[in-house]
């Protein structure tokens, strides 16, 4: 059974001015997401600035989210690392704290061979019992899971159940679904490719756009899954300018700027991320206005 179907939000981590995590604000955001129809919370992903969290902060943010959500919707913990040992420790902690699933990004910087990926993911998932979604985003990690490798892992490791596909390569996604014979939960990792991945057998998205438009993204996916493909496709196309604006600088710079423009007060970014350039802010502001967010 899938961890979730529909739109999961890759939620931002709100910060105070001193760059500590703002848990009061995170609590507000979780409630707004649930009220807006979001189908799952993905905490401590790329959008959540996990790369600049300490391990203690990482575990605390996951624990806090699980406690506040209280099983109303699934909580998926981003516990991937380029160090297998660290990923195991974070994953075991998240399981102990009650996470419904894990999101495991490919190892970054040191990368890995395909055999190395098999060893890495097998070692992590053998230490926990909760299901795991593998995260393929080679543009950020420099390390791609090949379709054959993913098919092997899904077949051999019981609790590897899904993939967040953000390669941008539709042919690659089709090969994954062919080799896995549909026995994998496919989630789009790109907001501008949700409907194309649904058409190949996907069941949802792990979304940046959901931070600012949770109901819209939820409806776009559920309409498709309910058979209203024409309306879902129209919503996907209408959202393209907004998606482009949210990625006109490296994520999560634009989405945090967007939330702040909406008065959500999610605070600053941790270095080396910087505040959005003024010219890009205007692009973002126009897209948000046209999309009905401002």
Question: Is residue 206 within 8 Å of residue 42, measured between CB atoms?
Answer: yes
The residues with which 105 forms a beta bridge, in sequence order, are 135
DSSP string, 120-158: HHHHHHTT--S-EEEEE-HHHHS----HHHHHHHHHH-T
The C-alpha angle 98, 102, 107, rounded to 5 degrees, equals 140
Active-site residue (options: 135, 187, 216, 224): 135
**164 flagged as catalytic:** yes
Active-site residue (options: 164, 223, 256, 281): 164
Which residues, at least 6 apart from 4, have a Cβ–Cβ distance to it below 8 Å?
39, 40, 73, 74, 76, 204
CA 238 to CA 233: how far, in whole Å?
9
Work out whether strand 132-136 and strand 101-105 pair parallel, antiparallel, or are unpaired. parallel
Question: Is residue 162 within 8 Å of residue 131, measured between CB atoms?
Answer: yes
* Number of neighbours of residue 164 by Cβ within 10 angstroms: 26
* Max CA pair span of the chain: 49
**5 flagged as catalytic:** no
Identify which of 22, 62, 70 has the alpha carbon closest to the alpha carbon of residue 260. Answer: 22
Please say whether the dihedral angle defined by the alpha carbons of residues 156, 160, 162 and 168, taken in this order, is positive or negative. Answer: negative
Kindly list the catalytic residues: 135, 164
């Amino acid at each position: 059974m899938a961890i979730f179907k529909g739109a999961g939000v890759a939620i931002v981590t709100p910060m105070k001015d001193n760059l500590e995590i703002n848990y009061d604000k995170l609590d507000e955001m979780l409630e707004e997401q649930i009220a807006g129809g979001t189908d799952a919370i993905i905490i401590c992903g790329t959008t959540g600035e996990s790369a600049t969290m300490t391990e203690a902060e990482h575990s605390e943010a996951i624990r806090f989210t699980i406690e506040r959500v209280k099983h109303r919707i699934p909580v998926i913990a981003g516990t991937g690392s380029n160090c297998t040992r660290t990923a195991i420790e974070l994953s075991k902690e998240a399981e102990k704290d009650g996470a419904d699933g894990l999101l495991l990004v490919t190892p970054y910087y040191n990368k890995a061979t395909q055999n190395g990926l098999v060893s890495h993911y097998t070692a992590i998932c053998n230490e926990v019992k909760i299901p795991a979604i593998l995260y393929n985003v080679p543009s950020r990690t420099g390390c791609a899971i090949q379709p054959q490798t993913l098919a092997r892992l899904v077949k051999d490791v019981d609790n590897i159940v899904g993939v967040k596909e953000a390669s941008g390569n539709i042919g690659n996604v089709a090969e994954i679904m062919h080799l896995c014979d549909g026995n994998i939960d496919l989630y789009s990792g790109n907001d501008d490719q949700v409907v194309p991945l649904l058409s190949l057998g996907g069941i949802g998205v792990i979304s940046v756009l959901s931070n600012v438009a949770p109901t819209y993204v939820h409806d776009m996916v559920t309409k498709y899954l309910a058979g209203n493909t024409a309306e879902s496709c129209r919503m996907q196309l209408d959202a393209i300018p907004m998606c482009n604006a949210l990625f006109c600088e490296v994520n999560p710079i634009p989405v945090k700027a967007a939330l702040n423009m909406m008065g959500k007060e999610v605070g600053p970014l941790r270095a080396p991320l910087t505040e959005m350039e003024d010219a890009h802010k205007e692009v973002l502001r126009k897209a948000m206005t046209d999309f009905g967010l401002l």
